[in-house]
Amino acid sequence: MGGAKKSFSTDKILLEKTNLTITELFEHLIQIKSSDTLEFDTNNLLVAINGVDSSVLDGYNTSLKDNDVVSIIPIIHGGKPDRIQFVLLGSNVEMFYIKYNKKFDSQFLDQIRSQHPSLMIQIIDSNFLLGIDHVKKILAISLNAQKNQILLSKKIETDILLRFAGTTQISYGIKTVGRKTKKDFVIIALGKKTSLNKLHTELKPDINPKPLSRSNVSCIQKQFGISKKQISVISSKNPLEDILVERAAILF
**pLDDT score for 182:** 83
Per-residue pLDDT tens for 122-173? 999 999 999 888 999 999 999 989 988 999 999 999 999 999 999 999 999 9
**Helix residue ranges per DSSP H, the chain:** 3-8, 22-32, 108-115, 132-147, 156-165, 170-177, 193-203, 217-224, 228-232, 239-249
* Nearest of 133, 35, 20 to residue 77 by alpha carbon: 133
Q: Which CATH superfamily is domain 3-75 in?
A: Beta-grasp domain (3.10.20.30)
Q: Is residue 77 scored above 70 in pLDDT? A: no
Q: Is residue 34 scored above 80 in pLDDT? A: no
Contacts of 164 (CB under 8 A, 6+ apart): 124, 128, 129, 138, 173, 177, 248
pTM attached to this predicted model: 0.73
Spans of all domains in the chain:
3-75, 79-249
Angle at 97 between CA 92 and CA 99, to 5 degrees: 150
Of residues 50 and 82, the one with the higher pLDDT is 50
Mean pLDDT of 104-115: 92
Measured distance CA(156)–CA(118) in Å, rounded: 14
Contacts of 85 (CB under 8 A, 6+ apart): 77, 78, 79, 92, 93, 94, 95, 196
Phi, psi of 118 (to 5 degrees): -80, -10
State the pLDDT confidence band at 211, using cuts at 50, 70 and 90: low
Q: Is residue 195 scored above 90 in pLDDT? A: yes
Measured distance CA(27)–CA(31) in Å, rounded: 6
Measured distance CA(190)–CA(143) in Å, rounded: 11
Q: Which CATH number fits domain 79-249: 1.10.8.60, 3.30.479.10, 3.40.50.1370, 3.30.2380.10?
A: 3.30.2380.10
Measured distance CA(170)–CA(162) in Å, rounded: 7
State the pLDDT confidence band at 90, using cuts at 50, 70 and 90: confident
Average pLDDT value for the chain: 86
**pLDDT score for 117:** 96
